[in-house]
Amino acid sequence: MKSIYCIGELLIDFVAEGQGNDLSKANTFIKKPGGAPANVACAISKLGGNSRFIGSVGRDPFGTFLLHVLKENNVDISLAQRCKTFTTLAFVSLAEDGERDFVFSRGADKKLKYDSSVKKGFKGHMVHLGAATALLGGGLEEAYSRYFFDALTQDSFISFDPNFRGDLWRDDESTFVKKCMPFIEKSHLCKFSLEEARLLSGQTDLEACCDFLHDVGAKVITITLGGKGTLLSTQGLKKTIPSISVTPLDTTGAGDAFIGCLLYQISTLDKALAVLDDFELLTKMVEKANVAGAITTTGFGAIPSLPTYSQVFD
């Protein structure tokens, strides 16, 4: 089985209690571990895969808590870093329909330092670039770009999820789009939400979104569509693969569970890259990844709601 290196932020989600979608009125917050790449790492390991997290937290109690959670979930944290800056915090509110809203207080995640000794481990393995904060500058952006280059030169299987957060890119969405393009061009698998696919392509029609992104160079595209499932698209074939029926409580982490489950399945193949030319196999894998995403919506918080292997595959 291949290792999957998940690179990006690990942070605290402070989830507002009982205040609908309005953070300004929230008085009480519950502390939960978060950060998309960390969620993906947990999703992979909870299914039985080998995930390794690369990111930075503060030398404070929140950093201690977060690394403990990853360790508890069997994520390899030997490449995680700690720095003097406070751990990154995200304040989250949940609407009644399970949708969410974010405010970020950015700290240690941007201090990640590139480590040139890591790249030899990439050879023949997989790298997932899924940070919401990675393209905002700082050490993380430099490390992210250099690890991306390393993954390309080490023939790793590369997956990219832009994790667009409107809060972080107010009035500067065009910079976000521009910075994503090299990752879309060179990665083997891209995971987008519908909002991201439209933003990145400048198209509204789903087929046109995919055509545009394939023209940029995207190989396999998955566009997650919430309760409607996932659109899978390769250069030649497209198909919407339905999800299962659930009653969602909190959609936080559904996309991370989805991509984590897809990557886990690819990591079990002898030749990960062979999946790029096998639409039937990809379809089966996306069906299972949809189940993982759906199950994650049925509980509160991302990591505690991630499914085990038997919940998805038995």
Q: Residue length, the chain?
A: 314
Residue (3 or 243) nearer to ligand ATP, CB: 243
Residue (56 or 290) nearer to ligand ATP, CB: 290
Residue (124 or 242) nearer to ligand ATP, CB: 242
**Dist. CA 267–CA 157, nearest whole Å:** 9
**Least Å from the CB of residue 240 to ligand ATP:** 10
**Least Å from the CB of residue 296 to ligand ATP:** 7
**Least Å from the CB of residue 244 to ligand ATP:** 6
Tokens of 246: 């659930």
Residue (60 or 99) nearer to ligand ATP, CB: 99
Return the amino acid letter for 216. Answer: V
**Dist. CA 189–CA 191, nearest whole Å:** 7
N- to C-terminal Cα distance for the chain? Answer: 20
Residues that bind ligand ATP (CB under 6 A): 193, 224-227, 229-230, 243-244, 246, 248, 251, 253-256, 258, 290, 293-294, 297
Residue (114 or 279) nearer to ligand ATP, CB: 279
**Least Å from the CB of residue 311 to ligand ATP:** 14
**If we measure between CA atoms, which residue out of 166, 34, 146 comes closest to residue 87?**
34
**Least Å from the CB of residue 225 to ligand ATP:** 6
**Least Å from the CB of residue 39 to ligand ATP:** 8
**Least Å from the CB of residue 257 to ligand ATP:** 7
A 10 A CB-CB count for 46 gives 24
Residue (26 or 246) nearer to ligand ATP, CB: 246
A 10 A CB-CB count for 247 gives 7
**Least Å from the CB of residue 164 to ligand ATP:** 8
Residue (60 or 101) nearer to ligand ATP, CB: 101
Residue (150 or 250) nearer to ligand ATP, CB: 250
